[in-house]
Amino acid sequence: MNRDHFPSISGGLLPDSGGGRDFPATVRPNPGSDEAFQTLLLSLAAKASAQPDAASLIQFFCRAAREFFQVSGAYFWKCQGPEEMVGEQAEGKLAERFIGMRLRPGQSTVTAEAVEQRRTLFANQIESAKFPVAHEFGARAMLAAPLVVFNEVIGATTFLHDSDENFFNDDLAAKATILAGQLGSLLEATRLNEASQEEHRRAQILADVAHALHGRPDVSAVIEAVADRVRLLLRARLVCVLLKHDGPFELRAVAAETPQLATAARSRYDRRTLRFAADLAQRAVSAGEPVTVSITADAHSMGDLISPGTLIAAPLRTSRTQGAILVFPRQSGIYTSDEKVLVSAIAGFAAVALANAEL
């Protein structure tokens, strides 16, 4: 990629890729006043102080920034690992098309270059042949600012104009840099706040588990309580518990997001699905610790009920009984290593309660 097409905010001249002329980078006046810019910063901070989730905060940013800059579209990319970015939120032109788009470092885009250089870049008089994504969105000028938090790029914002080919300048780039910096800080604060709340929620559920399982009179009551608490803890759609005692594994408890899902899950535990679940339970018992398995829709007979993804199988055993807690994939993302530890902790509580109920 020719980096001369991407002057930094300290820029000077923008190359005219069409006719060889040079245009001053500051030829166009700012569409928003400094006073309006300060109001935008304050409104973004006020939105964050209301403690919205990250998605709501980003959507507010895209809408407010697009209005301030008077651009055709405002877009937010989220880093998905070190090698890829995914379109997460957008406002304006082809917003729905943007959601879910993937951007890799090797692609020829203003945004990819801005992320690589970790600085705000803009390009006017864009050549469609060199920027396929820009061509798809009808961009004549684009600006991108990376979000850098603790020296790590967590995302990027992109703005485009589809009619003025000399729209962006140093002043707009400077303001976009400040906005990206503020958004990055606010998103990190939101993440930390959500993490703190999640830790508190988990601690409460673990305490509730210990209390709920204490003194349960029979095995069935213990197992049903375990399945219910694990589902709540991990925000899973479906949790099943399988046990065996001098025989094959049997489905002993189902906890589901809705009563309809629970009924459907029980009714579909035919021989194929039970064999699939029993194999996973045996793997967990043999390993002596939780195992994670990537499953597809054709691995069991509930493919239309449960999305493909990662399943956790945590072993559960007493002197008389062997079994496992199966936590099926959830829509909100894969399970973390910390969540595997939490499931293991609950399985430990459950084993003690089961042994007591068996006595």
pLDDT tens-place string over residues 172-184: 999 999 999 999 8
Residue 95: which H helix or E strand, with range?
Answer: helix 95-98
CA distance 85 to 259: 37
Confidence of residue 359 (pLDDT cuts 50, 70, 90): low
Torsion angle of C-alpha atoms 132, 138, 141, 144, degrees rounded to 10: -60
Identify each DSSP E strand in 150-207 by its residue range: 152-161
70 pLDDT higher than 90? yes
CA distance 86 to 309: 19
Segment 314-336, tens digit of pLDDT: 998 888 888 899 999 887 778 88
Cα separations (Å) of 175 from 98, 127, 131, 153, 315? 23, 25, 24, 18, 54
Same fold, 3-193 and 214-358: yes
Identify each DSSP E strand in the chain by its residue range: 13-15, 22-24, 73-79, 85-92, 102-103, 121-123, 141-149, 152-161, 238-244, 250-256, 291-295, 309-317, 322-327
Strand order in the sheet with 152-161: 102-103, 85-92, 73-79, 152-161, 141-149, 121-123
- The correct CATH number of 3-193 out of 3.30.70.420, 3.30.40.230, 3.20.20.140, 3.30.450.40 is 3.30.450.40
What is the chain's Cα-based Rg? 27
- Angle of helix 170-213 relative to helix 219-234, nearest 10 degrees? 170
Give the residue extent of every domain in the chain. Answer: 3-193, 214-358
- Asked if 111 contacts 156 with a C-beta cutoff of 8 angstroms, the reply is yes
Segment 264-307, tens digit of pLDDT: 888 877 656 667 888 889 999 999 888 888 887 666 556 667 77
CA distance 173 to 359: 71
H helices, E strands: number in the chain? 10, 13
CA distance 120 to 82: 19
Span between the terminal Cα atoms of the chain, in Å: 72
Segment 129-138, tens digit of pLDDT: 667 778 889 8
Locate 77 and state its tokens: 């990319």
193 pLDDT higher than 50? yes
Segment 226-253, tens digit of pLDDT: 898 889 888 898 999 999 888 888 888 9
CA distance 167 to 32: 13
Average pLDDT over residues 101-123: 85
CA distance 273 to 177: 53
Torsion sign (Cα): 45, 50, 55, 56: negative
More confident residue, 4 or 338: 338
User: Domain 214-358 classified CATH 3.40.50.410?
Assistant: no
pLDDT of residue 239: 92
24 pLDDT higher than 50? no
Locate 328 and state its tokens: 């099926």
pTM assigned to the model? 0.54
